[in-house]
Amino acid sequence: MGIHEFVSEIIEQNKDTLVDVSNQVWRFAETGFQEKKSAQLLVQTLKNEGFTVEEGVAEIDTAFIGSYGSGKPVIAFLGEFDALSGLSQEGGQVNYAPVEKNGNGHGCGHNLLGTGSLAAALAVRDYLKENELSGTVRYYGCPGEEIGGGKTFMVREGLFDDVDFALTWHPGSRNEIMSMASLACYEVYFKFKGASAHAAGSPHLGRSALDAVELMNVGVNYLREHIIPEARVHYAITNTGGFAPNVVQSEAEVLYFVRAPRVSQTESIYQRVCDVARGAALMTGTEVEIDLASALSNVIPNTVLEETMYAQFEQLGVPTHTEEEQQFAQAIRQTLAEADKKVEEEVDRRLAGKDLADVISPYTPASNVFPGSTDVGDVSWVVPTAQCMTACEVLGTTLHTWQIVATGTTSIAHKGMMHAGKVMAATALQLLHNPELVEQAKAELVERKNGEEYMCPLPKDVKQYQVRDYM
């Protein structure tokens, strides 16, 4: 039996377990670093399958590593399982129907992501066992991808230092290799403290922290003209200091995301933003506390791994869909904005007029920077890393929407999840049998870093991401 037949058979044999795990994580819908039930479910599943599991790694309650086998190569599959706030939605519905007002929901499909990577780990585990081969398969349970960047903490603690290559995926609406560089990102809180006073009776005694926040935002908006065009800086006021206009606000807080193509560029812009914050404090007679809560490095793509993964994808093909699945997809697609529907066909003309992707989009090595961020970036700086996407969603659906949550428990999503597991497992086994490809991938990583060594953007004193009350 060939590699592709083997992984397909093993993953299909585990279908009931995998679908059940995915659906349970979907129901738990726990946000970043709060994923206690989801993490425990995945930990117990790994233990049931004979993996040795180390829990609470990197001093994070919901981070863990499941390992099977011994020796080289060490293969890492990256799993995520955090949900998003405010995206509660009934599964399998084609209209907006929250289960709980302002509740959580898996609007990015991480219930599928974590389980698809588990599927790959199980298949590789069985292949190593049946063929009595040397090798270690690891499942990395990575919390808080949406906020806080769990992988950055894990990389900082050296948990990937002996890994030979890492594979992951993301649910999407197309079937493709995710060849992309991304933006590094700093997540920073600026908390201003002033003095309260009666805004009419004694305003001269007050020092407004809210004024400081507003002046900081104005200053940063002027700064935008003088940073590289690829950079992104955006903010949300997380504490206005109260709701009474006749009280001078003694405290206020704003959260900033600072992004740029390289960590060094992000650091430079971050320091300038900090200067603006200090200037706002001087102008208002307030004090500012700067809290770098999280930071992510940019993704370094790896053509050697991506080409290997694409070849396996072509061999495995894509899932087929039933008439019932097509009807569901058509109904969901009717809820989408016309502009979103056109995005997919601009990427691949073969998708024009379709509701579900039924082809593999051509592989094109990364040439542009994707204007988003992911903690996969930190892994990619220390280990050759590749990612794929499989069609778990209706064409034109954007991430972080109720439509993603609604589709997340359907057979469409489950087929895409299982297929991602097959693609990743087949890629891992291809690399297992061709160690020269792994060495080429490592050499490519060194070349792409161009002499720049990995420097974790998180200072050592920043521990597990501190979830704020308003989150």
The CA distance from 88 to 208, in Å, is 37
Enter the tokens of residue 331.
Answer: 């109904």
The CA distance from 190 to 200, in Å, is 27
Enter the tokens of residue 270.
Answer: 């971050």
Separation in Å, CA 161 to CA 66, 75, 253, 452: 16, 12, 37, 17
Q: Which residues contact 205 (CB under 8 A, 6 or more apart)?
A: 195, 197
Residue type for position 245: P
Would you state the pLDDT for residue 471? 45
Dihedral sign, CA of 256, 260, 262, 268?
negative
Under 8 Å between Cβ of 385 and 396:
no
Which residue shows structure tokens 């420097």?
Answer: 455
Enter the tokens of residue 404.
Answer: 């993603």
From edge to edge, which strands make up the β-sheet containing 251-260? 232-239, 251-260, 184-193, 287-296
Domain 184-296 has CATH 3.30.70.360: yes
**Strand-pair partners of 142:** 80
The alpha helices in 197-322, defined as continuous H runs, are: 209-223, 263-284, 303-316
Q: What is the DSSP letter of 2?
A: -
Name the strand (E) or helix (H) holding 71.
none
Enter the tokens of residue 119.
Answer: 């599927």
The CA distance from 449 to 447, in Å, is 5
Residues in the chain: 471
The widest CA-to-CA distance across the chain, in whole angstroms, is 84
Enter the tokens of residue 465.
Answer: 């991401």
Structural domain 3-182+298-449, CATH architecture: 3-Layer(aba) Sandwich (3.40)
Q: Do domains 3-182+298-449 and 184-296 have the same CATH topology?
A: no
Name the strand (E) or helix (H) holding 24.
helix 15-28
Residue 307: exposure state from Cβ atoms within 10 A (0-12, 13-18, ≥19): middle
The CA distance from 394 to 83, in Å, is 19
Angle at the Cα of 178 from the Cα atoms of 45 and 338, rounded to 5 degrees: 105
Separation in Å, CA 456 to CA 61, 77, 305, 447, 462: 21, 21, 24, 19, 11
Name the strand (E) or helix (H) holding 117.
helix 110-131
Q: Note the Cα 155 to chain centre separation in Å.
A: 15
Half-sphere exposure of residue 254, counting CA atoms within 13 Å on the CB side?
A: 26
Enter the tokens of residue 134.
Answer: 């040397």
Q: What is the pTM of this model?
A: 0.94
Enter the tokens of residue 241.
Answer: 């200091």
Under 8 Å between Cβ of 103 and 88:
yes
In order along its 471 residues, the chain shows pLDDT tens digits of 899 999 999 999 999 999 999 999 999 999 999 999 999 999 999 999 999 999 999 999 999 999 999 999 999 999 999 999 999 999 999 999 999 999 999 999 999 999 999 999 999 999 999 999 999 999 999 999 998 899 999 999 999 999 999 999 999 999 999 998 999 999 999 999 999 999 999 999 999 999 999 999 999 999 999 999 999 999 999 999 999 999 999 999 999 999 999 999 999 999 999 999 999 999 999 999 999 999 999 999 999 999 999 999 999 999 999 999 999 999 999 999 988 888 887 888 999 989 999 999 999 998 788 888 999 999 999 999 999 999 999 999 999 999 999 999 999 999 999 999 999 999 999 999 999 999 999 999 999 999 999 999 988 888 767 666 544
Name the strand (E) or helix (H) holding 334.
none
Q: Note the Cα 444 to chain centre separation in Å.
A: 24
The CA distance from 137 to 128, in Å, is 9
Would you state the pLDDT for residue 180? 87
The CA distance from 337 to 317, in Å, is 30
Q: Is 452 left (phi over 0), alpha (psi -120 to 50) or beta?
A: beta
Residue type for position 348: D
The alpha helices in 383-434, defined as continuous H runs, are: 402-407, 411-433
Would you state the pLDDT for residue 388? 98
**Buried-exposed string 200-222: b where 16+ CB fall within 10 A, e elsewhere:** eeeeeebbbbbbbbbbbbebbee
Q: Which residues contact 206 (CB under 8 A, 6 or more apart)?
A: 194, 195, 196, 197, 198, 199, 248, 250
Under 8 Å between Cβ of 391 and 317:
no
* Residue boundaries of the structural domains of the chain: 3-182+298-449, 184-296
